[in-house]
Amino acid sequence: MKSNKETKRKSHYNENRDSYLSIDGKYYCYKFWDTDTKRIKTERIEIKNDSSVDWTVVLDDLDHAADLNDRYANEARDKVFDAKLAQYEANPYEGDEKNPWEDIGDNRNNPVEILFSEAKPENEKAALVRKVVDEKLTNNQKNLYYDHFGMNKKLVEIAREEGEQTGKAPSNSAMNNRKNKILQKISKFFEEK
């Protein structure tokens, strides 16, 4: 930062963060736990700008990204839950208030749910697609189908991996043709049904 007048900061000064750019932009401050004094201390490191990089701008960009992250996290918070939690934490033993965390249902450890829960019915179309894949596709087509649609790999990635194994990578159009043949077999099966 050549001068505070020339460059405008994107980040907001926030000394409550673990690391932040000082308000004057001359220091980057880190908070750390000092085991000797059993306190949180702040280390101030002077930012020296060399001719190749303006470190103040880089650190300001990092702080700006942290500001955005904090903002998005704050927007996603449940205000009603936070208010109930604050009220409970202020007087946990007073009144009819109960811990709001106890209101959140979790059936994973409930023995009744574990022993007597019924399996959710499978999507009929997904079962038909799986049947077509298992019965109508070749092994190479199955591998392409599961890599592309199951593992969300891009066709370029799959072609590169095939090239590493065989020594020759197929072209993009060849990969698209393979994918289209698979989709045609699946759609043909649905047309017959």
Strand order from edge to edge, sheet including 27-34:
19-21, 27-34, 39-46
pLDDT tier at 4, thresholds 50, 70, 90 = very low
Average pLDDT value for the chain: 83
Contact 153, 147 (CB under 8 A): yes
Q: Give domain 124-192's CATH number out of 1.20.120, 1.10.10, 1.20.1300, 1.20.1690.
A: 1.10.10
Q: DSSP secondary-structure letter at 169?
A: P
Contact 176, 155 (CB under 8 A): yes
Q: What is the pLDDT of residues 116-161, one digit of tens each?
A: 777 788 888 888 888 889 998 999 999 999 999 989 999 999 999 9
Q: Per this entry, what is the length of the chain?
A: 193
**Nearest CA among 145, 120, 122, 149 for reference residue 134:** 145
Residues of the chain with CATH 1.10.10: 124-192
**Nearest CA among 93, 38, 30 for reference residue 62:** 30
For position 1, what pLDDT does the model report?
43
Instruction: Give residue 177's identity as a one-letter amino acid code.
Output: N
